[in-house]
Amino acid sequence: MGYHAEYNAWKSDPESYWLKAAKAIDWDVAPTRALFDRGDNMYEWFSEARVNTCYNAVDRHVENGRGDQVAIIHDSPITNSQSKITYAELQTRVASLAGALKAKGITKGDRVIIYMPMVAEALEAMLACARLGAVHSVVFGGFAANELAVRIDDCTPKAIIAASCGLEPNRTIEYKPLIDGAIELADHKPEFTVILQRVQHKCDLGSNDVDWHDFQNGVTPADCVMVEGSHPAYILYTSGTTGAPKGVVRPTAGHLVALNWTMKNIYNVDPGDVFWAASDVGWVVGHSYICYAPLIHGNTTVVFEGKPVGTPDAGTFWRVISEHNVRSFFTAPTAIRAVKREDPKGEFTKKYDLSCLRALYLAGERADPDTIEWAQDILQKPVYDHWWQTETGYTIAGNPAGLEALPVKIGSPTVPMPGYDVQILGDDGHPVEPNTLGAIVIKLPLPPGTLPTLWNAPERFKKSYLTAFPGFYETGDAGMIDDDGYLYIMARTDDVINVAGHRLSTGGMEEVLAAHPDVAECAVIGVADQLKGQLPVGFVCLTNGVNRPHSEITAECVKLVRERIGPVAAFKLALVVDRLPKTRSGKILRATMVKIAGSEAFKMPATIDDPAILDEIKTSLQTIGYAKEAT
């Protein structure tokens, strides 16, 4: 069946469509009904079924004869090491870890925070939680203690599972001080922390800490605990319109059904094939496509600890693909831009046999035409952009290569997937004509696996997503649909920016800057950057009477954001200005500032911390009267 037939099959009978897709999952109690309308625009999928995620991602493959197949390849150019874990080994390891967690009192519904780098044990920790029906919340290693503390207070975990350190090319990140700092800042105190000691740095264990290996000694391996279909599989925090992150809830059964569906239909892999998503387990791409989807589908997944360039060179991606026989490769455009910058002619692709690779998939931020064309050219393979978000957990619009590869239109992530009725609405809430910009919305109900609510915040869920356009889910993106039904994603409608494929809230950064004693008011906007897509720039107005050197204050602002949010914010530039553009009612005109920053002087600067760019920013601000002596 081609794309259109498949999409129409879903649209004409969604209930049968999803019940059919559910047959690919092994249930304890199979669903006889797919959708449950809970009223007030709230929906659940497969609520009456019972199932276990870990059983579907691990045990069933061992039972079905895949025990000797490699489940996880760990490839770490940073530590210069590689290892492989078969499905049978994974089952033993995960059952043992789950047994140890169970012995420490972790049961179904308990929350567990996972704070780990790109090691295979991060996946084992996620799967061990899933095995027990415990709800994990993975926190990206690039966030600071304060961000970890916010998440601890929101999801009140019984335990934290962490490693002793993460490794960036230029430094070792000691996790223990960050965890201790977060626990001290948080009101909620987890009962214990499990630490995986890495050889690169071993930390001292405190009285509430247990060693990953020691605490598994002598425990009884745990069996899979079956849970109801709408039981939360995990909580993943993402940036919203204020500094407080939103806890996206992922429902168990829909997640299994939908992710499994995507592996063949979108990524075009069969069980046994090697699939690689070069992201981080701390992001939704890592949850869905490093851990769950490939394992649920019986693929081999690659856990890559490294960077696209510099570890050791811009050929790393191609080496991993060729060495591990990767069929479908998924990363963020920013990573490809980094490779292109180092190796513009694609010389490194000639060093490796890439015949195993079928296609490159890009998502996480806008894929600029230059990057797509360059990648197509050097790889001589299709490059598929696809669009989705943490909230959905998988593709909203993409090119369904496994169903039918549609013609690529550069600049468009192609078409909506079955399950998604995507529409473009104008300010009046009515659909606009093709090729006209508007808010991108999805008609309710959203398909299986997407967020049913926000953790502990159902009202915020409704306000953030369901209120602006009644009957629709508001994606927060603006764009258009062309005459052929292809979707184009043009901008965010809120304060979210996308830095190196990482979703960040400028509101969150403003909250940090506003806490500086010399800052009277501030605004943070995203400015185009050639490598990272966008970079945050902060504009601060000083409190009357402050006459310290501006450079001192801006350096403190930069330090503060790094300390409170983390290095991942990539906040390196703050400018002191006399005033901020405002409406009569005093609202800061951030959109106007973005437009100013989008003027010629700011277009895709090579790097934003380049002194020449800094000068241009100052001059532009002075020209338009917002700064007499911006620093």
Q: Applying CB under 6 A, which residues contact ligand COA?
A: 141-142, 166, 168, 173, 278-280, 283, 285, 307-308, 331-332, 334-335, 338, 364, 499-502, 532, 567-568, 570
> Smallest distance from the beta carbon of 535 to ligand AMP, in angstroms?
15
Adjacent-strand bridge partners of 174: 165
Which one among 123, 134, 284, 621 touches ligand AMP, defined by CB under 6 A?
284
- Among ligand COA, ligand AMP, none, the one that 477 touches (CB under a kind-dependent 5 to 8 A) is ligand AMP
- Among ligand COA, ligand AMP, none, the one that 334 touches (CB under a kind-dependent 5 to 8 A) is ligand COA
Cβ neighbors of 57 (< 8 A, separation 6 or more) are: 127, 130, 291, 292, 295, 296
In this complex, which beta carbon is closest to ligand AMP, that of residue 365 or of residue 495?
Answer: 365
Tokens of 124: 């084992």
In this complex, which beta carbon is closest to ligand AMP, that of residue 34 or of residue 489?
Answer: 489
Tell me if 315 contacts ligand AMP by CB under 6 A. no
In this complex, which beta carbon is closest to ligand AMP, that of residue 51 or of residue 439?
Answer: 439
Which one among 124, 365, 368, 421 touches ligand AMP, defined by CB under 6 A?
365
Which one among 300, 399, 498, 506 touches ligand AMP, defined by CB under 6 A?
498
Strand 274-277 to 300-304 pairing: parallel
**Which residues 51-70 are close enough to bind ligand AMP by CB under 6 A?**
none
- What are the backbone angles phi and psi of residue 506, rounded to the nearest 5°? -70, -30
> Smallest distance from the beta carbon of 440 to ligand AMP, in angstroms?
9
In this complex, which beta carbon is closest to ligand AMP, that of residue 273 or of residue 474?
Answer: 474
> Smallest distance from the beta carbon of 138 to ligand AMP, in angstroms?
13
Among the listed ranges 209-217, 249-257, 273-281, 365-373, the one in contact with ligand AMP (CB under 6 A) is: 365-373
In this complex, which beta carbon is closest to ligand AMP, that of residue 193 or of residue 390?
Answer: 390
- CA-nearest of 313, 327, 309 to 381 is 327
- Three-state DSSP class for residue 539: strand
**Which residues 222-241 are close enough to bind ligand AMP by CB under 6 A?**
238
- CA-nearest of 522, 490, 503, 530 to 590 is 522
In this complex, which beta carbon is closest to ligand AMP, that of residue 181 or of residue 485?
Answer: 485
Among the listed ranges 150-158, 253-261, 265-273, 361-369, the one in contact with ligand AMP (CB under 6 A) is: 361-369
> Smallest distance from the beta carbon of 399 to ligand AMP, in angstroms?
11
Residues in the chain: 631
- Among ligand COA, ligand AMP, none, the one that 238 touches (CB under a kind-dependent 5 to 8 A) is ligand AMP
In this complex, which beta carbon is closest to ligand AMP, that of residue 317 or of residue 488?
Answer: 488
> What is the Rg, in whole angstroms, of the alpha carbon atoms belonging to the chain?
24
Please tell me the number of Cα atoms within 13 Å of 570 on its side-chain side. Answer: 21
- What are the backbone angles phi and psi of residue 263, rounded to the nearest 5°? -60, -40
Tell me if 164 contacts ligand AMP by CB under 6 A. no
- Among ligand COA, ligand AMP, none, the one that 389 touches (CB under a kind-dependent 5 to 8 A) is ligand AMP
Strand 533-542 to 519-529 pairing: antiparallel
- CA-nearest of 404, 401, 400, 338 to 375 is 338
Please classify residue 553 by burial: count the beta carbons closer than 10 Å to its beta carbon, then call 0-12 exposed, 13-18 middle and 19+ buried.
buried
> Smallest distance from the beta carbon of 332 to ligand COA, in angstroms?
4
CA distances from 27 to 18, 227, 228, 245, 394 (A): 14, 10, 10, 33, 22
> Smallest distance from the beta carbon of 499 to ligand COA, in angstroms?
6
Total residues contacting ligand AMP by CB under 6 A comes to: 20
In this complex, which beta carbon is closest to ligand AMP, that of residue 39 or of residue 407?
Answer: 407
- Among ligand COA, ligand AMP, none, the one that 166 touches (CB under a kind-dependent 5 to 8 A) is ligand COA
Tell me if 503 contacts ligand AMP by CB under 6 A. yes
Identify each DSSP E strand in 335-467 by its residue range: 359-362, 383-385, 397-398, 415-416, 422-425, 438-443
**Cβ neighbours around 604 below 10 Å, total:** 12
- Among ligand COA, ligand AMP, none, the one that 338 touches (CB under a kind-dependent 5 to 8 A) is ligand COA
Rounded-to-integer distance, Cα 109 and Cα 124, Å: 18
- Among ligand AMP, ligand COA, none, the one that 368 touches (CB under a kind-dependent 5 to 8 A) is none
- CA-nearest of 126, 139, 122, 128 to 198 is 122
Rounded-to-integer distance, Cα 425 and Cα 475, Å: 11
Tell me if 147 contacts ligand AMP by CB under 6 A. no
Tell me if 390 contacts ligand AMP by CB under 6 A. yes
Which H, E and C letters describe 83-94, residue by residue? Answer: EEEEHHHHHHHH
In this complex, which beta carbon is closest to ligand COA, that of residue 278 or of residue 372?
Answer: 278
Contact present, 523 and 593 (Cβ < 8 Å)? yes
> Smallest distance from the beta carbon of 414 to ligand AMP, in angstroms?
10
Tell me if 413 contacts ligand AMP by CB under 6 A. yes
Cβ neighbors of 472 (< 8 A, separation 6 or more) are: 423, 425, 441, 442, 443, 444, 466
> Smallest distance from the beta carbon of 143 to ligand AMP, in angstroms?
14
Which one among 477, 495, 510, 511 touches ligand AMP, defined by CB under 6 A?
477
Which one among 51, 139, 274, 363 touches ligand AMP, defined by CB under 6 A?
363
Contact present, 611 and 619 (Cβ < 8 Å)? no
CA distances from 113 to 148, 186, 371 (A): 9, 13, 36
Tokens of 451: 């967020």
Strand 159-163 to 192-196 pairing: parallel
In this complex, which beta carbon is closest to ligand AMP, that of residue 327 or of residue 366?
Answer: 366
Among the listed ranges 317-325, 350-358, 380-388, 448-456, the one in contact with ligand AMP (CB under 6 A) is: 380-388
For ligand AMP, the binding residues (CB under 6 A) are 238, 284, 363-367, 385-387, 389-390, 413, 475-477, 489, 492, 498, 503
